[in-house]
Structure 1
Amino acid sequence: MTESAHLLDAFDARAQRRDQRREFFKTAMGAAAAGVAAFTLTSKAGAQSTITDADILNFALNLEYLEAQFYAFAANGTGLASSQLTGTGTQGAVTGGKKVTFTDPIVEQYAREIAADEAAHVAFLRTALGSSAVAQPAINISGDANGAFTAAARASGVIDSNATFDPYASDENFLLGAYIFEDVGVTAYKGASPLISNKTFLQAAAGILAVEAYHAAIVRTTLYAKGIQTPALITAAGKISDARDSLDGTTDLDQGIAATTVGGQQVSNIVPLDSNGIAFSRTPQQVLNIVYLNKASATLGGFFPAGVNGTLRASAAN
């Protein structure tokens, strides 16, 4: 059997296992939906609002739409099926997105696998939420001068104020684009986990968190490996990390893909964690600060030019 045939068999088996897991959760989450728990969210101004588990999952669904569309276009040249975009709130279109002409077959395989995983996340959350699932909001994943990727790269200093950043132009650019999203997704799911009361929903969120962490690790690992030959990649990842830190508040939690030892030697930093070996969290508001590319209190911007759909849609002033 050829290597290509082995790969196809492996992907087929993976898809079958994914479908089996999805059927299990569809049954379990359908039974749990009638008893969705809620918690009270208190703003800095003291105002209170009740947020349900479904609100949290819908917030996650907005992020999954963004990731899934980016990877789908990068790996396959086409976005999600139209049947996977409907729901409550205002449905929006995708601006930008195109297939990457990969030169590294390993990066291309990673892109294809992650694209399939993210599409599965969208389908799974939509099924779990049923009629309460939000529609895909307007998404900007363009690599042109007016694109959100260019705005993010300019703000972080990866490129100068007159340049553009196209995440579809090369393997390396694709990895940097993926790096913007993956670390944010991991911290978003970890931050949301204490807010989920229903155990079935919590188990599902934990499962997606694990997958996002695998994705983040492979993106960080691959970037670091390429950065050994091209140090500018490590520098760029560090700048993106600093920009995320600047957007989400005054704390210094985000970390690049390399660290410096006491002796001045550079070492890999594949996992961003604290002294206890624990990954850090972000609140929904902090996540929105990053994807809106805005330090202020906002309801739209950046990768979501019309904002996200659902109850959790405002970032916080930092």
Structure 2
Amino acid sequence: MARRLSSLFVLLVLLHIGMAILVMAAPSCGPIEANDRDRIQFALNLEFLEAEFFLHAALGKGLDSIEPSFAQGGPPPIGATKANLDPVTNRIIEEFGYQEVGHVRAIIKTIGGVPRPLLNLSRDNFANIFDEAVGFKLRPPFNPYANSINYLLASYVIPYVGLVGYVGTIPSLVNSTSRSLVAGLLGVESGQDAVIRTLLYEKALLPVVPYGMTVADFTNRISNLRNALGMCGIKDEGLKVPIQLGAENRTESNILSADANSLSYSRTPPEILRIVYGSGNESNPGGFYPKGGNGRIARQFLTKV
């Protein structure tokens, strides 16, 4: 019964997406015109987001405490705070935070940086995202910093978006230095996402207190939300999927999200902006980026408002 309900939920979400696309103007799902520098600087927006989220959760302080010059005068994040993590999870997230500092440094040194955009990592923002994902207001509001499971679910929301962005970026890069840089970034981003998904998969059937939904339920609904916001089909899957979406149509487990050939999905910058803005519109900032992203690609969409 639970499996049938899960499949029905996926089908209803896809029907909703299809109807929305019919009513609205067709979204941009194809490639954009941009040079290597602009594409990689676009990704820096997401690297800033991950760095601040991981560092604050593990250490109680962010990028400015380690490499203040990297922000280039950009404002500190809103609402980021120390999370109540168990020792093992804290150590993992601390390592991820330091890795993100390295990613920011590598981008700045290789092609130049952009100012850190205003980031909203507040409880209220995450609560809104989780309410949107499940389709109703959670009581009490979801708090990403309350415990390890909540934090890992909140982490599920973020790194995967950067991963699929890098997969979409590499084929369009011209310079070998750019391709080498992004390949290196993608390798670690993929590893981070795999670790987060594995930690959650170990607890997939456990209820997330006090909501009466399992860890797997939350991941499926978050992935469905990102597909709906991205507006370009299924490019995101939770930890448990209908067997027709599992690897070789032989498994319902889905520790790694991948297509029919077990290749990583890819997304374009407009798709990513629709998701991280939480608006389904690359020209309408909000969500994690109240004033939008920085760099030419993100700013050019804002000028279309």
Contact 2:144/2:150 (CA < 8 Å) preserved in 1?
yes
Structure 1's 154 and 49: CA in aligned 2 closer, same or farther, altered over 3 A?
Answer: closer
Aligned to 2:43: 60
Q: Does 1:275 align with 2:260?
A: yes
Q: Compared with structure 1, are the counterparts of its residues 142 and 274 closer, same or farther at alpha carbon in structure 2 (3 Å cutoff)? A: same
1:266 deviates by 7.5
Matched, 1:166 2:143: yes
**Does structure 1 residue 249 correspond to structure 2 residue 234?**
no
* Structure label with greater radius of gyration: 1
Question: CA 1:297–1:101 in 2, change beyond 3 Å: closer, same or farther?
Answer: closer
TM score, norm. by length of structure 1? 0.76
Higher strand share: 1
Matched with 1:308 is: 293
Within 2, Cα distance between the matches of 1:60 and 1:195?
14
Residue 253 (structure 1) shift = 2.5
Structure 1: stretches of 5+ with no match in the other structure: 1-42
Task: Supply the RMSD in Å over aligned alpha carbons.
Answer: 2.6
Tell me the amino acid that sits aligned with residue 66 of structure 1.
L
CA–CA separation in structure 1 for the residues paired with 2:85 and 2:27: 46
Q: CA deviation at 1:181?
A: 0.7
Aligned to 1:286: 271
Q: 2:34 aligns with which of 27, 39, 51?
A: 51
Matched, 1:99 2:79: no
| TM-aligned CA distance change 1:257 to 1:199, over 3 Å | same
Q: CA deviation at 1:261?
A: 3.6
Q: Is the 8 A contact 1:289 1:295 kept in 2?
A: yes
Aligned to 1:135: 115
- Structure 2 CA distance for aligned equivalents of residues 268 and 171 of structure 1: 22
Q: Using the TM superposition, name which of 200-209 and 267-276 deviates more.
A: 267-276
User: Letter of the aligned partner of 2:281 in structure 1?
Assistant: A
The question of 1:234 aligning with 2:216 is answered: yes
CA deviation map 1:23-76 (0-9, x unaligned):
xxxxxxxxxxxxxxxxxxxx989xx98522110111011110001000010010
Letter in 2 for 1:254: D
Identity %: 32
The change in CA–CA distance for 1:266 and 1:107 in structure 2 (over 3 A counts) is farther
Number of residue pairs matched?
262
**Is the Cα contact below 8 Å between 2:156 and 2:193 reproduced in 1?**
yes
Structure 1 residues 169 and 161: CA distance shift in structure 2, 3 A: closer
- CA shift, 1:268, in A, is 2.3
Equivalence map 1:1-318=2 (5 Å): 51-81=34-64, 82-86=68-72, 91-103=74-86, 105-130=87-112, 133-143=113-123, 147-157=124-134, 160=137, 163-230=140-207, 232-261=214-243, 267-313=252-298, 314=301
For normalisation by structure 2, the TM-score amounts to 0.79
From the superposition, tell whether residues 170 and 274 of structure 1 become closer, same or farther in structure 2 (CA, over 3 Å). same
241-250 vs 149-158, greater mean Cα deviation: 149-158
* 4+ residue segments displaced more than 3 Å: 228-231
**1:211 and 1:139 mapped to 2: Cα distance?**
22
Which residue in the other structure is 1:23 paired with?
A: none
Change (3 A) 1:256 1:118: same
Task: After TM superposition, give the deviation of residue 164 of structure 1 in Å.
Answer: 2.2
Counterpart of 2:141, as a letter, is: T
The corresponding residue for 1:39 is none
Instruction: Tell me if structure 1 keeps the 8 A contact 2:226–2:275.
Output: yes
Q: Provide the secondary structure at the position in 1 that maps to 2:205.
A: helix
CA distance in 1, matches of 2:99, 2:58: 12
Change (3 A) 1:159 1:68: farther
The answer (yes or no) to whether the contact 1:217–1:270 under 8 Å persists in 2 is yes
**Residue 93 (structure 1) shift:** 2.7
Please state how far the C-alpha of 1:158 moved relative to its aligned partner.
7.0
* Structure 2 alignment gaps of length 5 or more: 1-25, 208-212, 245-249
Q: Is the 8 A contact 1:234 1:257 kept in 2?
A: yes
Deviation at 1:183, TM superposition (A): 1.3
Give the deviation of 1:128 after TM superposition.
1.5
